[in-house]
Amino acid sequence: DMEVAIKVVVVGNGAVGKSSMIQRYCKGIFTKDYKKTIGVDFLERQIVVNGEDVRLLLWDTAGQEEFDAITKAYYRGAQACVLVFSTTDRESFQSIETWKEKVEAEVGDVPTVLVQNKIDLLEETVIKNEEAEALAKRLKLRFYRASVKEDLNVTEVFKFLADKYLQR
Ligand code: GDP
Ligand code: MG
């Protein structure tokens, strides 16, 4: 039985919760402090999908989202992608298409999901539900609303990607 390993890149503007999402999923923890990731390329978690062992390798950027040369190296070989924006950050929502294009330019069409994080802050939202759904529809992406803080929909995102990858 051959084990499958999938490189997943988690992409989006700074402070949307990418590092928190990876930590939550792989270590089961959430820390409130905004700590920039240092010295770690990726964290991993093993899951079983349709009876198959799958290793998800979740790649994090070192908070250097603005540097093209670094992100390019980070995308290389990616087999799935999570595009993240924040409920409380309109710019992060408006940047999603650009992030998608950057990943696509490097690795082509890979299983991708759109995630609206920080849904626990819905009373402070700056994005209408219809807008988010319209974007997902236009980009033809499965859309999840999640809260890394409250552990809402995080495992679902990665389960979906693993599923989609295995079905390709
Ligand atoms: P990154 O720059 O995209 O990696 O973002 P971080 O993971 O460093 O998170 C930025 C800040 O948002 C940190 O203070 C996190 O604790 C916080 N954060 C992450 N996810 C959530 C969430 O679901 N809800 C809330 N309220 N805060 C979150
Ligand atoms: Mg980070």
Q: pLDDT tens digits for 69-109?
A: 777 778 899 999 999 999 999 999 999 999 999 999 999 99
Which residues are near ligand 1 (CB < 6 Å)?
Answer: 14-20, 32, 34, 63, 117-118, 120-121, 147-149
Check residue 60 and give its pLDDT.
83
Q: What residues have CB less than 8 Å from 34, skipping those under 6 apart?
A: 15
35 C-alpha to ligand 2 centroid (Å): 7
Is the ipTM, as predicted for this complex, more than 0.90?
yes
118 burial level (CB within 10 Å; 0-12, 13-18, 19+): buried
Closest CA to 5 of 168, 165, 167: 165
Q: Please, are residues 111 and 83 in contact by the beta-carbon 8 Å criterion?
A: no
How much is the mean pLDDT over the chain? 91
Q: How far is the CA of 1 from the centre of ligand 1 (A)?
A: 38
Q: What is the pLDDT of residues 109-120, one digit of tens each?
A: 999 999 999 999
Buried b (16+ CB within 10 A) or exposed e, 88-109: bbeebbebbeebbebbeebbee
For a mutational test of ligand 1's pocket, the pick from 13, 20, 84, i.e. the residue with the most ligand atoms closer than 8 A to its C-beta, is 20
> How far, in Å, CA of 50 to CA of 137, rounded?
27
pLDDT tens digits, residue range 23-36?
Answer: 999 999 897 765 55
**pTM, to two decimals:** 0.94
Residue 42: per-residue pLDDT: 87
* Residue 20 clears pLDDT 70, i.e. is over it: yes
